[in-house]
Amino acid sequence: MRVLQRSVRHGILTMLYGCMLKEWVCTPTLFIVKRIKNRSERRVMNQEFLEALHQIEKEKEIPLEVLLTAIESALESAYKKTYAATGDIHVRVTFAKSGFKVFCQKQVVEHVENPHTQISLEDARRLDEDAVIGDVVEIEVTPENFGRIAAQTAKQVVIQKIREAERQKIAEEYGDRVGEVVTGIVQRREQRNVILTLGRVEALLPPT
């Protein structure tokens, strides 16, 4: 008998993807943030999307912060690949009406040697008159046409995290029970195999 993963809840992911497509349409702006705060403290999420993530968190026991961090990391990679971006690029998921935001961190210097990672004091003070040498600033570089790519990427990440969590649960629950006789409820037949439910997971019983 082989334990299987249950299929990902289609309804939740459809709602999740719909929220992302609807919200991740934004007009990029340019601004500077003098002091970098913890990115989790600066998230302002759309309520519908947040509820969908909380439902996944509850049903699949995946912490919300794990989901968001994974989404942001994947979006950073997608942005760099799509736009051949260099420098310290990171994404912060906001899910407000302005959508997600892509930022590039640069250090304020007197003489710029690497424009991908540095910004001159003169340019920085055009954005923030209080900027000083040594400050690390964030410049938003969110592209207008990145929304659909971002939504697809985030959906794939959520599916991956759900599958990883399900595999981990199966390993924890049944890893030490190899050779043990267990009981289950027959659900259906798939060709010559019988599919059973064993609590929260499914199992495949091959023909003898």
Q: What is the CATH number of the domain that holds 36?
A: 3.30.1480.10
Q: Quick count: other Cβ atoms within 10 Å of Cβ 189?
A: 10
Domain count, the chain: 1
Provide the pLDDT for residue 41: 43
Among all chains, which residue has been given the structure tokens 């003169």? Answer: 122
Instruction: State which residues form the domain around 59.
Output: 2-205
Least confident stretch, 6-20, 158-172, 193-207: 6-20
pLDDT at 55 over 60: yes
Q: Are 19 and 52 in contact (CB under 8 A)?
A: yes
Provide mean pLDDT across the span 61-74: 86
Provide mean pLDDT across the span 113-136: 88
- With bands split at pLDDT 50, 70 and 90, how would you rate the model's confidence at 111? very high
pLDDT at 34 over 60: no
- Non-local (6+) Cβ contacts of 87 within 8 A are 104, 105, 106, 116, 117
The DSSP line for 51-64 is HHHHHHHHHH---H
Provide the pLDDT for residue 39: 45
Alpha-carbon span 124 to 112, nearest angstrom: 12
